[in-house]
C-alpha cells in the first residue's frame, strides 16, 4: 500500500470531514484551515490529517514516504469546470482587431470567432488535436488544476464534433487528472446551416446526441444561449433531448446580453450556468432555490473587456458561486486558475476565502465531482497543491503574477516537484 505523510504544513486549507455539496451566501466566507498540520495519504486517497503536536497514529511506518511541506500551504487542487482546451491554432489576429476597436460580436459577424476556430479544427487530425491539447493539459496540471471539464464545440458537424469528443476521451484515458466531457455542438451555427437553423438543431438532437450517448463520449450537454447564437427556447429543447440521453445540462448564459440563458438553465436543472456578465434581480431570483451552480469566468470577461458579473450581489443574495477558466483560443487563452483567484478578489470583490471556495468545493459541484474532489476530506482523491512558504491564504490572490506552487500531487503521486 502506498503511504505518504506530508509534514510541516503551515496551513492545511479546505479541511472538511463532512463536506456540504456546495457552500453558498455567508458560508462562502468560511474556509476551514488547520495550522501547523500534517496530512496522511494512502493509496492515492486522503486518509487523515491533524496538527503537528499530535503525530498521526500510524501503526506500520514501513514504506512510508515523508514529504516536508517546509512551511508551505496545502490546498485541494483547483477544479476547472469549464474549458475548451481542445482546439487548433490561436486567434491573436482577432485580439489585435479588438484592440483596434472591433467587438467580439463584430468579429463573429464577419465569420471570425468560433467559426474561425471551427475552420481550423476541421482541417486538423485527431492525433494533432490530441498532441496540442496534451501540452495544454500538462501546463494546467503544473499550475495546480486537479480536475478539468473539456467541451467540444469547434467541430459544428457530426464528424468533427465526434472527432473532438474522441480526443477528449483519449485525454481522459491519458490522465492523470479526471476529465469530464461536454457536447457543445450548439456553440454556433456553422456556415452551411446559416440559413437553416432548424436543420442544424435537428442534426444535434436527432443525430449527434444519440451518437454521443451511444459511444458514451460526454457527461454534459451545453448550449451558447445568446443573441445571434441560440435562443432560450432552442436551448431548452436541445438540453431536454440531451437529458433524455443521460447528458446533464450546462449553459453558456448571459455573456453578451440578458439572454434568458440563466432561466433556461434553471428550468432544465442545469448543473451550472456559466459567464453571467449580464445578470440582474430576475436571474438571481431564478437561481435561488435551484440546484444550478452560477459559474464565473473572469478570464473571459477580462480578455474581452466585458462588464464584471455582480458576484458580490449574488453571494449577498445567498447564492453559491464557482469559478472556471474557460480556457479557449478566442476569449481566454489560459487555464491559470491562480490568476482567476486574483481577478475574483480584485475586480469582483470576493474575499480570498470566498475565491478559494469558488475554485475548489463549488467548482467540484459544477462538474459533478463533489464526491471525490474539491476538499481535503478523508476518502477523497489526494489531488493537492503544496505551495512555497507563504504567509497564508490571502497571499495567493495578492501575489497575482507569481508562481507560488512548489509541488502538485495527483492521486498521491508527485507530478510537479520544484
Ligand atoms: O465561453 N461564449 C462562447 N464560447 C466561448 C468562446 C469561444 C470562442 O470565442 O472561441 C466562451 O467564451
Ligand atoms: Fe466557454
Q: Which three cell numbers stand for residue 316?
A: 449577498
Q: What confidence category does residue 1 fall into, taking pLDDT thresholds of 50, 70 and 90?
A: confident
CA-proximal residue: ligand 1, atom 12 (nearest): 331
The number of the ligand nearest the C-alpha atom of 229 reads 1
Please give the distance, rounded to the nearest whole angstrom, from the Cα atom of residue 222 to the centre of ligand 2. Answer: 9
* Model pTM score: 0.98
Please give the distance, rounded to the nearest whole angstrom, from the Cα atom of residue 26 to the centre of ligand 2. Answer: 28
Q: Which three cell numbers stand for residue 188?
A: 454556433
Average confidence (pLDDT) over 198-210: 98
Q: Which three cell numbers stand for residue 22?
A: 456546495
The number of the ligand nearest the C-alpha atom of 272 reads 2
Phi then psi for residue 289, to 5 deg, are: 60, 20
**Which atom of ligand 1 lies nearest, measured to the CA of 154?**
10
Residues with CB under 5 A from ligand 2 (ion): 326
Length of the chain: 418
Is 416 a residue whose pLDDT tops 90? yes
For residue 353, CA distances in Å to 7, 23, 345, 360 come to 23, 11, 10, 11
Is 234 a residue whose pLDDT tops 70? yes
8 Å CB contact between 326 and 83: yes
Is 245 a residue whose pLDDT tops 90? yes
> pLDDT (tens digit, 9 = 90+) per residue, 109-119?
999 999 999 99
Q: What confidence category does residue 121 fall into, taking pLDDT thresholds of 50, 70 and 90?
A: very high
The number of the ligand nearest the C-alpha atom of 151 reads 2
Q: What confidence category does residue 340 fall into, taking pLDDT thresholds of 50, 70 and 90?
A: very high
Please give the distance, rounded to the nearest whole angstrom, from the Cα atom of residue 70 to the centre of ligand 1. Answer: 40
Is 55 a residue whose pLDDT tops 80? no
Residue 379: the pLDDT is 97
CA-proximal residue: ligand 1, atom 3 (nearest): 224
Average of per-residue pLDDT values in the chain: 97
**Which atom of ligand 1 lies nearest, measured to the CA of 304?**
12
Tell me the domains of the chain and their CATH numbers: 3-76+376-417 (2.30.40.10), 79-365 (3.20.20.140)
Average confidence (pLDDT) over 245-259: 98
Q: What confidence category does residue 59 fall into, taking pLDDT thresholds of 50, 70 and 90?
A: low
CA dihedral 283, 14, 336, 344 (to 10 degrees): 40
Please give the distance, rounded to the nearest whole angstrom, from the Cα atom of residue 371 to the centre of ligand 2. Answer: 24
For residue 298, CA distances in Å to 82, 217, 247 come to 12, 28, 26
**Ligand 1 probe mutation, 115, 187, 298, most atoms within 8 A of CB:** 187
| Separation between Cα atoms, residue 124 and residue 155, nearest integer Å | 10
Residue 277: the pLDDT is 98
8 Å CB contact between 71 and 77: no
Residue 149: the pLDDT is 99
Please give the distance, rounded to the nearest whole angstrom, from the Cα atom of residue 1 to the centre of ligand 2. Answer: 40
Is 48 a residue whose pLDDT tops 70? yes
Amino acid at each position: 500500500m502506498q503511504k505518504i505523510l506530508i509534514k510541516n504544513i503551515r496551513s492545511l486549507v479546505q479541511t472538511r470531514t463532512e463536506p456540504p455539496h456546495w457552500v453558498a451566501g455567508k458560508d462562502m466566507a468560511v474556509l476551514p484551515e488547520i495550522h501547523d498540520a500534517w496530512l496522511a495519504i494512502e493509496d492515492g486517497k486522503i486518509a487523515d490529517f491533524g496538527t503537528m503536536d499530535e503525530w498521526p497514529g500510524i501503526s506500520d511506518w514501513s514504506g512510508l514516504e515523508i514529504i516536508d511541506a517546509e512551511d508551505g500551504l496545502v490546498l485541494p487542487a483547483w477544479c476547472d469546470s469549464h474549458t475548451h482546451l481542445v482546439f487548433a491554432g490561436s486567434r491573436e489576429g482577432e485580439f489585435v482587431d479588438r484592440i483596434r476597436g472591433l467587438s467580439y460580436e463584430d468579429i463573429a459577424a464577419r465569420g471570425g470567432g468560433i467559426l474561425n476556430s471551427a475552420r481550423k479544427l476541421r482541417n486538423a487530425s485527431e492525433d494533432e488535436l490530441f498532441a496540442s491539447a496534451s501540452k495544454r493539459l500538462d501546463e494546467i496540471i503544473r499550475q495546480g488544476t486537479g480536475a478539468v471539464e473539456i467541451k467540444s464545440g469547434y467541430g459544428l458537424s457530426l464528424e468533427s464534433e465526434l472527432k473532438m469528443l474522441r480526443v477528449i476521451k483519449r485525454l481522459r484515458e491519458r490522465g492523470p487528472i479526471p476529465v469530464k466531457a461536454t457536447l457543445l455542438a450548439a456553440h454556433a451555427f456553422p456556415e452551411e446551416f446559416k440559413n437553416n437553423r432548424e436543420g442544424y438543431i435537428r442534426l444535434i438532437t436527432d443525430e449527434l446526441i444519440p451518437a454521443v450517448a451511444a459511444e458514451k463520449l460526454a457527461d454534459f450537454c451545453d448550449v451558447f444561449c445568446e443573441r445571434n447564437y441560440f435562443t432560450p427556447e432552442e436551448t431548452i429543447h436541445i438540453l431536454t433531448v440531451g437529458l433524455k440521453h443521460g447528458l446533464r445540462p450546462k449553459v453558456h448564459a448571459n455573456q453578451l446580453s440578458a439572454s434568458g440563458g440563466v432561466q433556461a438553465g434553471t428550468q432544465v436543472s442545469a448543473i451550472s450556468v456559466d459567464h453571467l456578465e449580464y445578470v440582474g434581480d430576475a436571474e438571481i431570483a431564478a437561481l435561488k432555490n435551484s440546484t444550478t451552480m452560477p459559474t464565473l469566468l473572469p478570464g473571459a470577461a477580462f480578455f474581452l473587456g466585458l462588464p464584471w458579473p455582480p458576484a458580490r450581489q449574488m453571494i449577498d443574495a445567498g447564492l453559491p458561486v464557482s469559478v472556471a477558466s474557460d480556457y479557449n483560443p478566442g476569449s481566454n487563452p489560459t487555464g491559470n486558475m491562480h490568476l482567476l483567484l486574483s481577478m475574483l478578489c480584485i475586480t469582483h470583490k470576493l474575499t480570498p476565502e470566498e475565491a478559494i471556495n469558488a475554485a475548489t468545493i463549488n467548482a467540484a459541484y459544477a462538474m459533478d465531482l463533489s464526491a471525490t474532489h474539491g476538499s481535503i476530506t478523508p476518502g477523497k482523491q489526494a489531488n493537492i497543491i503544496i505551495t512555497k512558504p507563504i504567509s497564508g491564504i490571502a497571499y495567493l490572490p495578492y501575489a497575482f503574477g507569481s508562481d507560488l506552487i512548489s509541488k502538485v500531487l495527483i492521486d498521491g503521486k508527485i507530478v510537479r516537484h520544484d
